[in-house]
Structure 1
Amino acid sequence: MTAKTAPVTRDLVPTPAGDARITLHPAAAPRAVLALGHGAGGGIEARDLAALAAGLPARGVSVALVEQPWRVAGRKVAPAPRTLDTGWTPVAERLAAPGLPLVVGGRSAGARVACRTGAATGAVGVVALAFPLHPPGKPERSRASELLGSGLPTLVVQGATDPFGRPAEFPELPASHELVALEYGNHGFEVPKRAPVGPEELLELIVSAVGDWVLRLL
């Protein structure tokens, strides 16, 4: 039997960088909370974030989609990493308060924020979707240290053609980290029209991989 879900709620959280916004997709009987931040070029409507919010509450994982203060304020350009961390940390601390295990994560820039701040916010793990290992075409500018230094069990979900870092480009990961390499998918987890896997199937793979991994942490 599929678990029931509760109504979606929205809440503003004051931070030193301005108000952030939580859109909570709660499980009826939650076993954990997964907080997900968006990337620098988009918001919580990203296809992978929306799919996780729709699919995981039925498995007992509440999903909190977090909009950074710059997005809430209507600005077009993301601020510096330090400001992103400042706008994220109070939100993660608020979500950790009820006592449920908290897993933090996000896509692209949101994944970097979660890796940098997760251990300090009391999270038990990190989910890194489309981790931007390096700027496109500049592998020498690696951000692997953020991923390797998360200090928490970390799941990376990476598309095969992601210009910010293909799965084969990632360094050897510690035993606490896991990399799910998708056979298809770019940085936005879009697939070519002629691919044998359709966009919905790819999203189902992402939801299954993240759900299974989060539940194994508990």
Structure 2
Amino acid sequence: MSTTETGCRPEAAETVDTDAGPARISWFPATGTKETGSARLVLALGHGAGGGIEARDLQALAAALPAHGVTVALVEQPWRVAGKRLAPAPKTLDTGWRGLWPALAAAGAPVVAGGRSAGARVACRTAAELGAHAVLALSFPLHPPGKPEKSREDELLGAGVPTLVVQGGHDPFGRPAEFPPGEYEIAEVPYGDHGFAVPKKAGPGQDEAMGVLTAAVTGWLAALV
């Protein structure tokens, strides 16, 4: 296992066979639970269609949340484990996620399903079916860039469990103001694009942007239990 760009190293990696092929879970166990000996939550995070678990938001959460009693599981879909460059159809992504869910549930704590972009869509589509405790949607792709008429709001609104959307203020896949009313919460990372990168000329720096994201998620998770 290699150290990520943020210096965050998983304690263990687990390969899980699914009907879509082998998937992989990198585990970042909770460290703030010495009295109880177990995490209060497991946060499972899938990656997007154009990258892997090295994404800055996934790595920031894996580094920050274990100290708050949350085990983070970064999930690599079978297509990524196989070294393919293009993600398969959404139904295949859902198949992979369903197949690894028992391994996530076996950790012994309520599982919050989540992910960034395509991974957020997977979490929303399968949450109720799999019995997810809640959903964390990072950079939810509300619509393709420049095509607001092709909305995916039904996936978000249909999650059926408590949901937090964390969205960059300049995300071309949907700015926070574009999101429809519904039974979910939304937090904005000012100036952030779809990968939560902020321009150098913007007021907040990249570290501050990640601080906004991790604070929003930490507070929301604390309120779930």
| Superposition TM-score tier, normalisation by shorter sequence | over 0.9
Q: Which amino acid aligns with 1:16?
A: D
Q: Which amino acid aligns with 1:106?
A: G
Q: Which amino acid aligns with 1:203?
A: M
Equivalent position SS for 1:14: strand
Q: For residue 15 of structure 1, what is the aligned residue in structure 2?
A: 18
Say yes or no: does 1:106 pair with 2:115. yes
TM-score between both structures, scaled by the size of structure 2: 0.91
Q: For residue 188 of structure 2, what is the aligned residue in structure 1?
A: 181
Q: For residue 3 of structure 1, what is the aligned residue in structure 2?
A: none
Once the two structures are superposed, the pairs formed by residues 5-154 of structure 1 within 5 Å of their partners are 8-28=11-31, 29=33, 30-154=39-163
| CA deviation after TM superposition for structure 1 residue 163, in Å | 0.4
CA distance in 1, matches of 2:219, 2:155: 24
CA distance in 2, matches of 1:35, 1:142: 25
Q: Name stretches of at least 5 consecutive residues in structure 2 with no aligned partner.
A: 1-8, 34-38
Equivalent position SS for 1:110: helix
Higher mean alpha-carbon deviation, 87-96 vs 159-168, is at 87-96
* CA shift digits 1:106-142 (9 cap, x unpaired): 0000000000011222211000000000000110100
Q: Name stretches of at least 5 consecutive residues in structure 1 with no aligned partner.
A: 1-5
Structure 1 runs of 4+ with >3 Å offset = none
* CA shift digits 1:60-91 (9 cap, x unpaired): 10100000000000000000000000001122
CA distance in 1, matches of 2:30, 2:189: 27
Asked if structure 2 preserves the Cα contact closer than 8 Å seen for 1:93 and 1:121, the reply is: no
Q: For residue 205 of structure 1, what is the aligned residue in structure 2?
A: 212
Say yes or no: does 1:158 pair with 2:167. yes
CA distance in 2, matches of 1:7, 1:172: 37
Q: Which amino acid aligns with 1:213?
A: W
TM-score between both structures, scaled by the size of structure 1: 0.94
Asked if structure 1 preserves the Cα contact closer than 8 Å seen for 2:13 and 2:26, the reply is: yes
Asked if structure 1 preserves the Cα contact closer than 8 Å seen for 2:189 and 2:196, the reply is: no
| CA deviation after TM superposition for structure 1 residue 211, in Å | 1.2
CA distance in 2, matches of 1:45, 1:102: 21
| CA deviation after TM superposition for structure 1 residue 57, in Å | 0.2
- How many residues of Structure 1 are paired with residues of Structure 2 in the alignment? 212
Correspondence for 1:192 among 199, 202, 210: 199
